[in-house]
Chain A
Amino acid sequence: MTVENTGRFGIAESTASASPEGLHPSAGGPIATLGGKPLLSNRGPLNLDWVKQVRVNTSAVERRAQSHVLRRTVKKDWQVAWLLRAITCMDLTTLSGDDTDERVRRLCAKARHPLRQDLVKRLGIEDLNIQVAAVCVYHHFVETARRALEGTSIRVAAVSTGFPAGLSPLSERVEEIRRSVQAGAQDIDVVITRAHVFGGRWQELYDEVAAFKQASGPAHMKVILGTGDLLTLRNVGRASMVAMMAGADFIKTSTGKEPTNATLPVGFVMTRAIREYAQETGMAVGFKPAGGIRTAKQSTEWLALMKEELGLSWMKAELFRFGASGLLNDIERQLEFHATGRYSADYRHPIA
């Protein structure tokens, strides 16, 4: 079905497909629209003036975040639709020291069938073919995941570059990316050297991310800023800008291993940076909040944030992902409540 252009950002998409198929067309075409303008995939030079102009007032951002969750809510069928959308934007993740091939295969099975079949029928959404966007694992399990997801359009994402600290030698980090891409990873989640941000060494940060980008080749690079480490929102804003200039396809909040991970204030700063970058350069960069998003309610808050700050293009897996492991289960329970009118229990849904 075709969607009318209703908002500020315009909605260029004309497909109802939830399938991630055709994500990130490889050559040069528009991948999003903002204010009716088509936007390209990202690549740009370092502009230090722009980095230095970043202004973020922490209190103002926090007030925005506080009022955001009270200003917007979705109810009933709309809530169902939004939760389904959240599933399709999910990078279903396992990043534990005790991961095994079998554990990863179980996760991939859940990725293919995130919802119980009877629930899908009751909600009348068989045609939507709801699947998660990607499965996110360590390099060691890329191959396993690729095989387990064969025949689907679910992508394999690998965390890389010495995740989560990112402090191994640069050559090894770059090599890790190459190996993951060779092993079949379509998304590469890299971490930046946080010290470059603290030291204001923007050129070094740019060079680092640019090197990662080159190594990623056709794979899509998500740049993890480690916002829980960077701490100040101004640092987050500046690092976002440099990562985008250096070719990030996505900017991502955190590793999930920091003391605090994806928070709404950080989300506002990063999405505003993405918007400004798009308006100035005509290039679209995606956003991935990761870590700490565990409830269905949080997922709709994040989606509402994307709708408000960036528009419908950024409410799809092409430009928006959740990095999450426990979120799916809560969404399942909420959807079952919608379908049956009874509150659900987590054991009623197959584990990932």
Chain B
Amino acid sequence: MSIAEKFVTMEFGPAPEESKEALSWLDRHSRRFGHFINGTWVQPSAGQFFDTNDPSTGEKLASVSQGSAADIDAAVKAARAAFSKWQSLSPHARARYLYALARQVQKHSRLLAVLETMDNGKPIRESRDIDIPLVARHFYYHAGWAQLLKQEFPEFTACGVVGQIIPWNFPLLMLAWKIAPALATGNTVVLKPAEFTPLSALAFAGICEEIGLPAGVVNIVTGDGSTGEALVKHADVDKIAFTGSTEVGRAIRTATAQSHKRLSLELGGKSPFIVFDDADLDGAVEGLVDGIWFNQGQVCCAGSRLLMQESIAEALIGKIRDRMSTLRAGPPLDKAIDIGAIVARVQLDRIQKLVNQGIAEGATCWQPQIEMPARGLYFPPTLLSNVHPTSIVAQQEIFGPVLAAMTFRTPAEAVELANNTVYGLASCVWSENINVALQVAAQIKAGVVWVNCTNLFDAACGFGGYRESGYGREGGREGLLEYLEPAWFGSAPTLPAAKPSPAEKSEEETDASVPAIDRTIKLYIGGKQARPDSGYSMQVRGRDGEPLGEVPLGNRKDIRNAVEAARKAANWGKSTAHNRAQVLYYMGENLSQRRDQIARGLAQAVGEKQAAAEVSAGIERIFSYAAWADKFDGAVHNPPFRNIAIAMNEPIGTVAVICPQEMPLLGFLSTVMPVLAMGNTAVAIPSETYPLITGDLYQLFDTSDLPGGAVNIVTGYQSQLLKVLAEHDDVDAIWSFADEASAAAAKAYSVGNLKQVFTNEGRAIDWFDPKQGEGRWFLQHATQVKNIWVPYGE
């Protein structure tokens, strides 16, 4: 075609990015890569390799090692060997290494971008302008944290050896999100990149070599799911950080339940994109381009569910279609395309299958008549309208460039639809009215809310989900905590195992031959005393074996009722922090009034000395959390945009608490009060040692203006009730402070809705020591951080 013809058609024409450097980098490695273990390149122990391909052409790029359990073991050993020296380096020295990584990433930015695009299929514009700059930014930001670590986290220490498993959608960026905070906090790392996209991680290993990072600090082992499984199951790994599908996240939760491994999961999403009638509709359309048509929709936080206010739905759909018609699909290395290739055939098939299912369920499918490449793995931008919440395309993560659109009538309905999902990763709210936008932002159950923007990321801002989108945050101060733990915690002694509870009923049920005791304790549900569903009681004996009284034997139906009551009391979380503080102070006051009576009863189970001490410390603990209630502030982050990112500490919801056995009163207060102070509601299972404390506690609550249902107490066998609570899908978090078996059970049984788990790992916490038994560590677990991004400017 001549210039004259081009002058008429005014087409964009091709604008390919050069791939020569990346190809010669591959050639320099003979297109065959070993693992990067202990600072050197090693061949896979089983001698197996697999291919990694360019999804836009199907061409093989290189052979990559298939990691075996032996390879993982070698890498973990190297990381373990490097750990103590790395951790004991001065913060400044670690900061220098991280700074060097950031600089080196910048120096090789184009090679990394091209490699990423070739391996993954994403447009070069995205890898060049978004992924790689964010990688460098992440290392810079965490170089800063390394420098400040001792001042800012004096009481914390690194977890140890961290196993990290990352997905294929943002290969190097996810590597940076994992490695930068881990190294900054003094951990060493074994990272397994995704099977489809290992190349940029291997290039990063080269960068570690170039800057002289000590051997073993970062180890990269490539492979498939079995390699990841070996890493998850390795006994000497202290923490697993995983980003990927909810399904695999669940399997990892199960696999690590019996261990002390810490776990952070960043999983799937079905994020709502809400457009109100007063929004800048053209702006919102561009938000979708940056959302669902970013990285071919293979983004865990993609705004894939479009919720439109009815009055503007038609206009918005028109604008979306117009815009979709100007999207350009093409070779990922073309600098002027918007839609690149889907990473693998299996993903492409999955997208098509889900779209077909959506259409079969009544959705209207619209795709623009744009030119699609003849070969390679491509899926056109797709709009599904007439979608209802019941449709599979409204519920399941498609992980492709497919937008499912539906309408709402009022802000309340928008929130209801937005939250009508098992996920809670991200969300967008478009409105020119700040009242509407922030009101809705506050109500959405998601870790990130973008107001009038989409998919903005920064190292300074936490990213991570609510609900089945996982737990833990990446980025910001909140993200750092995932790689730290209280310094005293690792060396705390292990608690003795609880005596096994009887399968159904206790042999200690009321024995008619024992004379009746004067106190009748009931369950405490919804602010009322309730008889147990079972109609059975269990006997409580004192230190000397003498019967002290009876408590109800709670069962699964009592738990069901308690959880229901807790959910109904959610207004507790909406009351002001000042108001919650007042209620807690009042409790302290009332406990002080009854101290003698309560201590007398408690003394029968734990002795007079401990009883008196527990009451005194308990009053203080209540005061501490009353004090904290209005002081556990969020933050305003400073991302490099004209923007404020508000990190809000929000209550998690309904928290199940398995209270410490050894301190019936202080243990209860130490675990339930932080939950309450932060606005959660609780279902607590008191100590089996002296469950009669329940009677004292509910009198305390009843006289302190605590709304009914904010705390519910079910007595009975902790291990039995724990299982019911851990499996309950309407419980948002479970805390276990009993023995090791309870901690493991809480983790194992929580996989259904991936509720957040906080345990003592079966270790003894000195509840009398405020350093161990109260404060930020508990509050952090009683809250989840929501980052609300609010760009401004007129």
Contacts and interface: CB of A to CB of B under 8 A. Distances in A.
B2 A124 contact: yes
Contact of B794 (A75, A79, A234): A234
A56 B4 CA distance: 38
A67 interface: yes
A127 interface: yes
Contacts of B643: 59
Interface in A58-107: 58-64, 67, 70-82, 84-85
Contacts of B8: 1, 3, 16
Contacts of B318: 279
A59 B287 CA distance: 11
A7 B282 contact: no
Nearest to A18: B7
B283 interface: yes
B702 interface: no
Given A16-B7, A72-B12, A232-B794, A55 B432 contact: yes
Contacts of B349: none
Given A75-B14, A81-B10, A123 B3 contact: yes
A88 to B, nearest CB: 9
B8 to A, nearest CB: 5
B596 to A, nearest CB: 62
Interface string B3-23: 111111111111100000000
Given A7-B326, A84-B3, A125-B4, A73 B15 contact: yes
A344 B225 CA distance: 57
Contacts of A60: 280, 282-284, 286-287, 452-453, 791
B7 A81 contact: yes
A272 interface: yes
Interface residues of A, number: 50
A332 B538 CA distance: 95
A312 interface: yes
B790 to A, nearest CB: 9
Given A73-B15, A303-B10, A312-B10, A124 B794 contact: no
Interface in A15-53: 16, 18, 35
Nearest to B284: A60
B336 A73 contact: yes
A218 to B, nearest CB: 29
Contacts of B791: 59-60
Nearest to A303: B10
B283 A57 contact: yes
Contact of A82 (B2, B10, B125): B10
B129 interface: yes
A57 B432 contact: yes
A308 B326 contact: yes
B129 A8 contact: no
B338 interface: yes
Contact of B13 (A59, A75, A85, A233): A75
Contacts of B494: none
A9 to B, nearest CB: 8
A59 B452 contact: yes
Contacts of B794: 58, 232-234
Given A56-B280, A58-B794, A60-B287, A77 B432 contact: no
B3 A57 contact: no
A128 interface: yes
User: Contact size class for B?
Assistant: 35 or more
A307 interface: yes
A125 B7 contact: yes
Most buried by B among A8, A57, A60, A234: A57
B6 A73 contact: no
B3 A35 contact: no
A84 B793 CA distance: 37
Given A3-B9, A16-B8, A272-B282, A80 B792 contact: no
A264 interface: no
A1 B5 contact: yes
A120 B52 CA distance: 48
Contacts of A8: 321-322, 325-326, 368
Contacts of A71: 125, 336, 338
Contacts of A57: 279-280, 283, 430, 432, 452
A80 B452 contact: no
Contacts of B4: 16, 81, 124-125, 127-128
A82 B10 CA distance: 7
A78 B290 contact: no
Contacts of A262: none
A317 interface: no
Contacts of B609: none
Interface string A275-313: 000010000000000000000000000011001100010
A121 B483 CA distance: 67
B327 to A, nearest CB: 10
A77 B6 contact: yes
Contacts of B1: 77
A328 interface: no
Contact of A74 (B15, B281, B283, B321): B15
A341 to B, nearest CB: 16
Contacts of A191: none
B335 interface: yes
Contact of B335 (A61, A73, A81, A123): A73
B319 to A, nearest CB: 9
Nearest to A1: B8
B59 interface: no
A188 interface: no
A142 to B, nearest CB: 30
Interface string B286-322: 1100100000000000000000000000000010011
Contacts of A244: none
Contacts of A125: 3-4, 7
B642 interface: yes
A78 B13 contact: yes
B27 interface: no
A232 B792 CA distance: 13
A331 interface: no
A70 B432 contact: no
B278 interface: yes
B125 A35 contact: no
A325 B287 CA distance: 36
Contact of A77 (B13, B125, B322): B13
Nearest to A309: B326
B325 A7 contact: yes
Nearest to A126: B4
Nearest to A123: B3
A315 interface: yes
B10 A315 contact: yes
A237 to B, nearest CB: 9
B676 to A, nearest CB: 39
A58 B641 CA distance: 13
A124 B2 CA distance: 9
B533 to A, nearest CB: 55
Given A18-B7, A55-B432, A80-B3, 11 more contacts: A8-B321, A8-B325, A16-B5, A55-B279, A59-B452, A72-B336, A73-B336, A77-B3, A81-B4, A125-B4, A232-B794
**Lowest 8 CB-CB distances: which A-B pairs, in order?**
A60-B283, A78-B13, A8-B325, A81-B6, A59-B791, A57-B280, A81-B7, A57-B283
27 contacts: A3-B8, A16-B4, A16-B5, A55-B280, A57-B452, A59-B452, A59-B642, A59-B643, A59-B793, A60-B283, A64-B283, A67-B286, A71-B125, A72-B12, A73-B336, A74-B13, A74-B336, A77-B2, A77-B6, A78-B13, A81-B3, A84-B7, A123-B3, A125-B3, A125-B7, A232-B794, A279-B318
Interface of B: 1-15, 125, 129, 278-284, 286-287, 290, 318, 321-322, 325-326, 335-336, 338, 368, 430, 432, 452-453, 642-643, 791-794
Interface of A: 1, 3, 7-8, 16, 18, 35, 55-64, 67, 70-82, 84-85, 123-125, 127-128, 232-234, 268, 272, 279, 303-304, 307-308, 312, 315
